[in-house]
Amino acid sequence: MAGRGRVWRSGAVGLSLLLPLTGCGGRTTADSARAEVQHVLDRRAAALLGHDETAYGATGTRAEYTRLRALPLASWSYRVTGVHRTSSGATADAELRYRVVGYDKAPVDARRTLTLARTAGGQWYVSADRPAGQAGQQLWDQGTVTAVQGARSLVLGAGQPAAALRPFARLADRAVPAVSGKWGTDWSRRVVVLVPRSLAGMAGLLGSPAANYRGIAAVTTGETGGSGTAPADRVVVNPEAYAGLGDIGKQVVLTHETTHVATRAHTTAATPLWLSEGYADWTGYLGTGRTPAQIAPELARAVQDGRVPDALPADKDFGFTGDPTELARAYEGGWLACRMIADHWGTARLGAFYRAVGAHGKRAGAVEQALEKVLGTTPKEFTARWREYVGAQLG
């Protein structure tokens, strides 16, 4: 996410920040304020982890405590990066790091802006804690978090009863072994699912306009509202699109997204979207009993009109904001490519091909090299075989 530029105001307050005052010990007033605020946030974090609402309230507003108390936390800490005086107190820029028990292998990072005031005794206290500018929301920013623990999943909802979240846990619990059965067990084999109350809530978590995800049932992100470097994966559901799916469709979606969690470590800049999305769809649709024409209706129409695609889908064809028909054909084409590899070379080779592409590190030459080393073919031969396969399956 883009960083936030600093804007200095003219006048005494701005000058005091630009030209800090130094005491006899060499410590500036800005340094002192930062240390004081850091101490308050350290106390606040300790109180949250210790489930001590009274101690939490002594550091400021209790709103976040109420919203967060159901979230199973292994760690929670702030690092203050800047303090800015205001007419009524101060604002603080901080990096929040937290880890969910049993699911996050490393802390999730989130940039926050805190509003602070002083008590009559001169102590800082927190009056508000919100996402930093251009940073995505966290689930508790949207309401009180409800947690439902599955056998292999944790489902977190905002402002929703547990009964509404249990079906997600059941489907996620089925998805995990289904993915492991094809991909293997070299992943956490656990998944966190976030269920906001609306499409707008989903967009808020992802830090993007709601229009980008209309009609998209779910996405997987490495760090919700973060850099996407994957210390923690989250499946984020669009409840509006998801609600319109049947039972099979809902299972396909959660299995697809769980596949992204499983393959994350082997999905790199070298991996084309036709492979990452096609493999996730291939895993998702296994065992559903759906025919190729049912799974790929848009591509089937094109084939039946005599328009077999000339090439595998390009990354740009997977853009959420483009033509929904072209987007559907891109997913369907990627799915058929992975299905073809599994049918012709076998499931194990499909997984090996995926890993080999990702291991290349950069896009140029990655697919070409993996096609030769793993499948014993060339891009030209592979594309010709895929076009023939698409025509045979959908014609």
Same CATH topology for 12-135 and 144-258: the answer is no
28-37, 197-206, 369-378: range with lowest mean pLDDT: 28-37
Question: 351-364, pLDDT tens digit by residue?
Answer: 999 999 999 989 99
pLDDT category at 2 given cuts 50, 70, 90 is very low
Question: 116-140, pLDDT tens digit by residue?
Answer: 999 988 899 999 999 999 999 999 9
Terminal alpha carbon distance of the chain: 44
Q: Compute the distance between CA of residue 279 and CA of residue 273 in angstroms, rounded to an integer.
A: 9
Q: Inform me whether the pLDDT recorded for 5 exceeds 90.
A: no
Q: Inform me whether the pLDDT recorded for 108 exceeds 70.
A: yes
- Average pLDDT on 246-268 reads 96
Residue 75 is encoded by which pair of tokens?
């760690």
List phi, psi (to 5°) of 319. Answer: -65, 130
Provide the pLDDT for residue 30. 66
Q: 395 Cβ partners below 8 Å, 6+ apart?
A: 303, 304
Q: Compute the distance between CA of residue 294 and CA of residue 246 in angstroms, rounded to an integer.
A: 14
Topology, domain 144-258 = Zincin-like (3.30.2010)
Q: Compute the distance between CA of residue 110 and CA of residue 104 in angstroms, rounded to an integer.
A: 14
Provide the pLDDT for residue 228. 38
Q: Compute the distance between CA of residue 393 and CA of residue 340 in angstroms, rounded to an integer.
A: 10
- Average pLDDT on 28-51 reads 91
Percent over 90 (pLDDT), the chain? 83
At 194 the three-state DSSP class reads strand
- Average pLDDT on 100-114 reads 94
Provide the pLDDT for residue 18. 30
Q: Compute the distance between CA of residue 225 and CA of residue 131 in angstroms, rounded to an integer.
A: 9
**What is the value of pTM for the model shown?**
0.88
Question: 65-78, pLDDT tens digit by residue?
Answer: 999 999 999 999 99
Provide the pLDDT for residue 394. 97
Q: What is the mean pLDDT of the chain?
A: 90
Provide the pLDDT for residue 226. 37
- Average pLDDT on 153-166 reads 96
Provide the pLDDT for residue 321. 76
User: Comparing C-alpha atoms, which of 341, 336, 370, 340 is closest to residue 353?
Assistant: 370
Helical spans, DSSP H, in the chain = 12-18, 29-49, 53-57, 63-68, 162-183, 199-206, 239-243, 247-263, 273-285, 292-295, 297-304, 324-345, 347-359, 366-370, 379-394
Provide the pLDDT for residue 28. 60
Inter-residue contact 239 to 199 (CB < 8 Å): yes
Q: Compute the distance between CA of residue 170 and CA of residue 173 in angstroms, rounded to an integer.
A: 5
What are the sequence ranges of the domains in the chain?
12-135, 144-258, 267-395
- Average pLDDT on 18-40 reads 65
Q: Inform me whether the pLDDT recorded for 224 exceeds 50.
A: no
- Average pLDDT on 339-343 reads 98
18-22, 92-96, 110-114, 204-208: range with lowest mean pLDDT: 18-22
Is the domain defined by 12-135 classed in CATH 1.20.1250.20? no
User: Comparing C-alpha atoms, which of 85, 74, 71, 1 is closest to residue 36?
Assistant: 85
pLDDT category at 322 given cuts 50, 70, 90 is confident
